[in-house]
A and B are shown apart, each in its own frame.
Chain A
Amino acid sequence: MSRIGVAFEKARAEGRAVLVGCMPAGFPTVEGSIAAMTAMVEAGVDVIEVEIPYSDPVMDGPVIQKASDIALAGGVRTADTLRIIEAVAATGAPVVTMTYWNPIERYGVDAFARDLDAAGGTGLITPDLIPEEADEWLAASDAYGLDRTFLVAPSSTDARLAMTVEHCRGFVYATAIMGVTGARSQTSDAAPVLVSRVRQVTELPVGVGLGVGTGAQAGTVGGYADGVIVGSALIRCVLDAPDLGTGLTALRTLGAELAEGVRAPAR
Chain B
Amino acid sequence: MSADALAATGSRPDAAGHFGRFGGRFVPEALVAALDELTEAHRTAMADESFRAEFAALLRDYAGTPSLLYPAERLSAKLGARVLLKREDLNHTGAHKVRNVLGQALLTRRMGKTRVIAETGAGQHGVATATAAALFDLECVVYMGEVDTERQALNVARMRMLGATVVPVTTGSRTLKDAMNEAMRDWVANVDGTHYLIGTAAGPHPFPALVRDFVRGIGDEARQQCLDQIGALPDAVAACVGGGSNALGIFHAFVDDPDVRLYGFEAGGEGVTTDRHAASITGGSLGVLHGARTYVLQDADGQTVESHSISAGLDYPGVGPEHAWLHDSGRASYLPVTDDEAMAAFELLCRTEGIIPAIESSHAIAGAAAIAPKLAAELGREPTIVVNLSGRGDKDVHTAGEYFGILGKEQ
Query: A48-63 toward B: CB 8 Å interface, digit per residue (1/0)?
Result: 0000001111110110
Asked, given contacts A62-B171, A103-B303, whether A153 binds B30 with beta carbons under 8 Å apart, the answer is: yes
Query: B286-318 toward A: CB 8 Å interface, digit per residue (1/0)?
Result: 111111000010101111100000000000000
CA distance A160 to B407 in the complex (A): 58
A8 part of interface (Cβ distance < 8 Å): no
Stretch in A13-21, A125-133, A219-227, A257-265 with 4+ CB within 8 Å of B: A125-133
Asked, given contacts A56-B172, A153-B30, whether A178 binds B304 with beta carbons under 8 Å apart, the answer is: no
B29 part of interface (Cβ distance < 8 Å): yes
Asked, given contacts A69-B172, A180-B185, whether A152 binds B301 with beta carbons under 8 Å apart, the answer is: no
CB–CB A56/B25 < 8 A: no
B408 part of interface (Cβ distance < 8 Å): no
A168 CB to nearest B CB, Å: 12
CB–CB B26/A103 < 8 A: no
B33 part of interface (Cβ distance < 8 Å): yes
CB–CB B289/A59 < 8 A: no
B70 CB to nearest A CB, Å: 40
A148 CB to nearest B CB, Å: 14
**Residue of A whose beta carbon sits closest to that of B16:** A132
A267 part of interface (Cβ distance < 8 Å): no
Q: How many residues on the B side are at the interface (Cβ–Cβ under 8 A)?
A: 37
CB–CB A58/B301 < 8 A: no
A144 part of interface (Cβ distance < 8 Å): no
B18 CB to nearest A CB, Å: 9
Query: Which residues of A sit under 8 angstroms from B184, Cβ to Cβ?
Result: 58
Q: How many residues on the A side are at the interface (Cβ–Cβ under 8 A)?
A: 41
Query: Which residues of A sit under 8 angstroms from B31, Cβ to Cβ?
Result: 155
A185 part of interface (Cβ distance < 8 Å): no
Query: Which residues of B sit under 8 angstroms from A105, Cβ to Cβ?
Result: 286-288, 302
CB–CB A156/B28 < 8 A: no
Query: Which residues of A sit under 8 angstroms from B288, Cβ to Cβ?
Result: 101-102, 105, 128
CB–CB A133/B24 < 8 A: yes
CA distance A160 to B36 in the complex (A): 11
- Checking B29, B189, B296, B300 against A130 with a beta-carbon cut-off of 8 angstroms, the contacting residue is B29
Q: Supply 8 further A-B pairs (C-beta < 8 A) apart from A103-B302, A105-B287, A153-B30.
A: A58-B27, A59-B28, A61-B185, A62-B171, A102-B287, A128-B28, A130-B32, A179-B188
Task: Determine which residue in A78, A102, A179 has the highest number of CB atoms from chain B within 10 A of its CB, and name it.
Answer: A102
Asked, given contacts A61-B185, A178-B191, whether A151 binds B28 with beta carbons under 8 Å apart, the answer is: yes
CB–CB A180/B25 < 8 A: no
CB–CB B25/A152 < 8 A: no
Query: A157-177 toward B: CB 8 Å interface, digit per residue (1/0)?
Result: 100100010000000000100
B6 part of interface (Cβ distance < 8 Å): no
- Checking B189, B287, B291 against A180 with a beta-carbon cut-off of 8 angstroms, the contacting residue is B189
B291 CB to nearest A CB, Å: 8
Query: A105-123 toward B: CB 8 Å interface, digit per residue (1/0)?
Result: 1110000000000000000
